Amino acid sequence: MIDFHTSADVEAAVARAAAVAPELAALPAHRRASALDHVSRRLSERAEEFAAAINADSGKPLKWARIEVTRAISTFRWASEEARRFSGELQRLDTDPSAEGRLALVRRVPRGPVLGIAPFNFPLNLVAHKVAPSIAVGAPIVLKPAPSTPAVAFLLGEVLAETDLPDGAFSVLHLSNEDTARLVEDPRLPVVSFTGSGPVGWGIKERVPRKHVTLELGGNAAAIVAPDWQDLDFAAQRIATFAMYQAGQSCISVQRVFVHTDVYDAVSEAVVAHVNKLDVAADVGPLINDAAADRVQAWVEEAAATVLTGGTRDGRTYAPTVLTDVAEDSKVNAEEVFGPVVTLTRVGSVEEAFDRVNASRYGLQAGLFTTDVRLAFRAAQRLQVGGVIIGDVPSYRADQMPYGGVKESGTGREGLRAAMDDLTEQRVLVLTGLEL
């Protein structure tokens, strides 16, 4: 059990971050990139150790823990590459006669030290998505991992300490929720990057309206199976896997599935078959705590839906569950289950599916199984989400791509370059009297 840090520890971390901010912002790109390269390389060398720590801290099956480590290796590698090319742009200003001989250099500079608050469900890679872009742009970061999964963040801190980054460039603080609330309000941390629950995230934004706050708050991700999709078994296998992986504790876990009536029966049967093939220990795993298991169980019972498979519980492990005949306003549809539960709904058209997806107050990502490129573009135009994945489930994420949601799924974007833009602001230098 790791003890919480004291108020003196917190003050020391924040003071160091504020003091080192000018030095880190001025640090040459090659030094920031080299530090990030080092972290990526050391994660690769210690991959099994980190996977075991993820498993021990969160209960995540080793299969998924190893994949998370692999993603974190790439996240730091991408950050090092972006750090090397984060150069700004030139703008000719002589587009009007009054600006002849003038040129603007538009660069991005750090907004200031960052408070990064990370969740339990990806205790390494979502920490990486706070730390890596901060270092890449030259912003100190004070990292607050989830209270239930701090050990992995401290392991990462050991690796960061091996670099030649200046003292104060990063800190890891294990804090209670109450102490975190006080840290959020510290004016020396002008940027807050939060991933977690909606009520907490929006509460932060309301409490510090003058700070730059980015929020990734999850959702109830939907997948649509269009009538033209022929490989129904592939769609069913992907839906079954990514509705249940790591006990459904992912912001883009498949939660709602809308299937065209022409293929509904075949898809429903295949999803259930693939869910029943899952190894609960190796593929699914437990929920983070008893309270989470209690909530999932209560929501399924409250739904009074048709249970096609699952619906049982053993301690913190909730059986992979497939529901149908679910009311749209039922919590397992309308809220974020964050558990191994998926609902199947028959629709008469893809347009109806679009409407059902958009009826949610969330909008992180959606998946559409189709081979019709026109329908794919229609989905991108119609669906009120941050990302649309064609030919796969909404759970797909490449760590370098912009990632984030709309509506109550949050504001701002992760993904290395997108996050780097979010952590910085533009600064303009105008040169005069030039021959262009």
Residues designated as active site:
216, 251
What value, to the nearest 5°, has the Cα angle with vertex 282 and ends 231 and 324? 50
Contact indicator for 261, 292 with CB cutoff of 8 Å = no
Q: Could you give the 3-state DSSP secondary structure of residue 169?
A: coil
Longest Cα–Cα distance of the chain, Å, equals 76
Contact indicator for 354, 326 with CB cutoff of 8 Å = no
Question: What are the structure tokens assigned to 46, written together?
Answer: 């210690």
In 3D, which of 421, 434, 378, 355 has the Cα closest to residue 108? 421
In 3D, which of 409, 238, 241 has the Cα closest to residue 335? 409
CA dist 100 and 82 (Å) reads: 33
Q: Could you give the 3-state DSSP secondary structure of residue 115?
A: strand
3-state secondary structure 343-379: EEEEECCHHHHHHHHHCCCEECEEEEECCCHHHHHHH
Question: Where do the DSSP E strands lie in 226-340?
Answer: 256-260, 306-309, 313-314, 317-318, 321-324
CA dist 18 and 113 (Å) reads: 6
**Residue that has been written with the tokens 């950050």 in this structure:** 79
- 391 burial via Cβ count (<10 Å: 0-12, 13-18, 19+): middle
**Residue that has been written with the tokens 């002589």 in this structure:** 94
CA dist 413 and 386 (Å) reads: 9
CA dist 2 and 9 (Å) reads: 14
CA dist 246 and 126 (Å) reads: 15
Burial annotation 248-283 (CB, 10 A radius, 16+ → b, else e): bbbbbbbbbbbbbeebbeebbebbbebbeebebeeb
Contact indicator for 70, 54 with CB cutoff of 8 Å = no
**Residue that has been written with the tokens 């303009």 in this structure:** 428
